[in-house]
Amino acid sequence: MTISKKGFGLAVIGSQWGDEGKGKIVHTLAEQSDLVVRFQGGHNAGHTVVTDGRKFKLHLVPSGVIAGKRSLIGAGVVIDPRALKREIEELAANGIRITPRVLGIDYRASIIMPWHPALDEAREKRGAMFGAAVAAAKKSAAGVIGTTKRGIGPAYEDRAARVGLVFADLIDATTLREKVFALHHYEQRVLHSLHCGLAESPERIYAEYATLGREFALFACDAASEASDAVSGGARVLFEGAQGTFLDVSFGTYPFVTSSNTIAGGACVGAGVPPRAITRVEGVAKAYTTRVGNGPFPTELFDAIGRHLQEKGAEIGTSTGRRRRCGWLDATMLRRAHQLNGFDGLHLTKLDVLDGLRELKIAVAHEVHGKQVREFPIGVRDALRARPVYETLRGFANVDWKKVVREGKKKGFGALPSEALAYVRRIEALAGVPVISVSVGPRREDIVFAKN
């Protein structure tokens, strides 16, 4: 796929529960873009890019930096300055130098403070009261949501309550001091009510964050204006999402969701651009399904096939280090994701992980309360009880994927084995979206496009 040379806004969105391989896709598309904008989430996200024999793990920094493209952290992102500093240092150690020319941070992006992870962990330990109703369904241990405990949710809560710090506060020492001392007292009382506390004093927090603010001050920008001006000026802008559609705070498997809007509409709000700036939306989906943390997962596998997917797919969270739950592809999820995002095309990743399985299954519907439904259940209780209705296809084995990649440069999908191509075509038909690329290896180069 080639990005238009005219003003163009492309949003890349995960169509499952995150971890679909968006980082590799965004990095590939970034090479044809002028600007990359991350529009939501925090360092709970994890994008892995393997290129030129090197592996990069990104959490806050947009994937465009690997391609050397101007990249922006939008107002809809929550930033942990400590985590951002570590990430920039790790990238520098691997030969990627992050300068204010490459990276910009919107003045309005929210800041994660030390009390936010503390609140996150305290609530998880107490059973996450918002998950109590789900615990009654006997399907989730103690009703815990399984957050990354990095303070993402509490930071978004403070933003909604209009008491949180934003990036402009971090780089203004006077405002930073006032807010740190006022909020530290309040948050400490909240933590005490949860039978825990914050060991760091306000003086210590202020001193560290004032230093971080001075270090990051040169990165400050009006990302919203820059992105809007870029699109209207004829540039090619890539909007990078984090997590996936089914972790959207409004439309995901609530309450087992993240705290921001991960769908395409969230790109306008998080980046600060008008809807017409998004001229194309592309989804990313694994050839199977994975999930990190608790919550419903109708097609989850606990057998040898599940272990095959987990081990061959190296299914360990980039951000959390936790093993991902694995299962068959769920077409009802892809249809719902298409409905919410309006995909123009779908990137299918990790097709090679299915190599060696005699049969492949796709959930085409679910049985809920004795009735068969073709849509993914909306209510979490129904989703927890759903029994998938599968369609079975022939598998494939011992494929020379390097040869597929070589031949794919000329033949496109014609280089795929017949069984693998049949699987891709069936996904297209069930999802109602054309598959525009297939990833068949961990490297950025291991992508076969439908049209070349």
Interacting residues of 300 by C-beta distance below 8 A, sequence separation 6+: 289, 291, 306, 325, 326, 327
DSSP state of 65: G
Choosing from 47, 184, 308, 347, the catalytic residue is 47
* Catalytic (active site) residue 184: no
Which residues have C-beta within 8 Å of that of residue 40, sequence separation ≥ 6? 74, 76, 77, 241, 242, 260, 261, 262, 266, 267, 270
Shortest CA distance to 309 belongs to which of 293, 291, 336? 291
Name the amino acid, one letter, at 316: I
Three-state SS at 298: coil
In sequence order, the 6+-apart residues with CB closer than 8 A to the CB of 346 are: 15, 282, 283, 284, 285, 334, 427, 428, 431, 433, 434, 435, 436
CB 20 within 8 A of CB 14: yes
Q: Nearest Cα to 141, choosing from 151, 153, 150, 128?
A: 128
Phi, psi for residue 251 in degrees, rounded to 5 = -120, 5
User: For residue 274, how far is the Cα from the chain centroid?
Assistant: 22
DSSP-assigned states of every residue in 216-252: HGGGEE-HHHHHHHHHHTT-EEEEEP-S-GGG-TTTS
**Hey, what amino acid is at 107?**
Y
Q: Is 255 helix (H, G, I), strand (E, B) or coil?
A: coil
Residue 53 makes CB contacts below 8 A (sequence gap 6+) with none
Distance from the first to the final alpha carbon of the chain: 7
d(CA 191, CA 97): 38
Residue 366 annotated as catalytic? no
**Active site residue ranges:** 19, 47
